[in-house]
Structure formats: C-alpha cells, structure tokens
Amino acid sequence: MVKVLFVCLGNICRSPMAEAIFRDLVKKNQLSEKISIDSAGTSGWHIGNPPHKGTLKILKKYKISEQGLKARQFTADDLYTFDYIVVMDDKNLDDVKRIGEGPAKVLRLLDIVEASERKNVPDPYHTGDFEETYELVTKGCDVLLQLIKEEHQL
Ligand code: 4NP
C-alpha cells in the first residue's frame, strides 16, 4: 500500500480538500486498494472538526465525497507511517521539517506541477477563494498520481 498524507496549517480548508480530491481521483483510476490517503494540520487548532464550509461547498459542487474528513494534528510518527507527505505551502514545509524527519518523501504539492508559476497553494481561510484553491489542488493531484504510478509501477 502506498500511503499519502496531505498537510496544511488548520486541516480544515486545503488538505482535507486535497484528501477528498485525490481519493476521488484514485478511485476513478481503480487504485483504491493500492493507495491510501489521509490529511493533517501542523496546528492543533481544529482537532476533531469537519472541513470549513467553503471546502464542503466546493466538494459538493464538483460531486466529490466529503466522507471521513475530520481534522487531526500532524505528528512526527507520520514521517514513518506515510510514504508521501504532501504539503500546501512553504510554511507547512518548514513546520513539518521542524516537527521531525523520517523516511517519508516530503514535497510541496505545486513543486511537482512544472507549468505552475504558483508554488504555494493559497489559503482560502484568508483569501475566501475556494475555487482558485480547488483548481490548483486538482492540478497538483493529477501530477501526484502520475508520479506515484511511475515510482511504484502502478
Ligand atoms: P488550512 O486553512 O490550513 O488550509 O486548513 C486554515 C484554517 C484555519 C486557520 C488558518 C488556516 N486558522 O487560523 O484557524
């Protein structure tokens, strides 16, 4: 099983959106038995909470299931449990590195999208623009699946 963890600050806007979008994509590629997906926040501010209503609204709009999304905090153990830790911005990258290190590959989602000029996924908690975040996360997830397929011969 290839294990993927998406990480942002609060785990209520960007990373649960990425978790749901990537799970949907993996399912459409018939890879649900091979790839498992989770998300976490570097902060503990929203532990146990459902996603932000803006994230739920955008998932509903694009008919993507919100099932199983519940905020939790990132821990140093995650660097041993997961194969890929996919963060949303440079602050998340710094925070994850500060929390620990381990065998997991830590990468920023938009770093793998060569054509993207933006390298940080904007935080809709502050911008209010969940559509922009959805589009960038979707692009990143497409490339991430190709990368995982290649690296694991799936
Ligand atoms: P996220 O957005 O990291 O994409 O989940 C945020 C959610 C909540 C807060 C900040 C960012 N907050 O300050 O509570």
Q: Give the binding-site residues of ligand 1, using a 6 Å CB cut-off.
A: 8-14, 45, 123, 125
pLDDT of residue 37: 98
> Which of 123, 127, 134 is the best mutation target for the ligand 1 pocket, counting ligand atoms within 8 Å of the beta carbon and taking the most?
123
What's the gap in Å between 7 CA and the centre of ligand 1?
A: 11
Average pLDDT for the chain: 98
Long-range contacts of 117-124 (CB under 8 A, 24+ apart): 119/90, 120/88, 120/89, 120/90, 121/8, 121/14, 121/88, 121/89, 123/8, 123/9, 123/13, 123/14, 123/88, 123/89, 124/13, 124/14, 124/52, 124/54, 124/55
CATH superfamily of 2-151: Response regulator (3.40.50.2300)
- The pLDDT tens digits of the residues spanning 131-154 come to 999 999 999 999 999 999 999 999
Mean pLDDT value of segment 95-111? 98
User: What are the start-end ranges of the E strands in 10-97?
Assistant: 35-41, 84-87
- The pLDDT tens digits of the residues spanning 5-54 come to 999 999 999 999 999 999 999 999 999 999 999 999 999 999 999 999 99
* For the chain, domain boundaries: 2-151
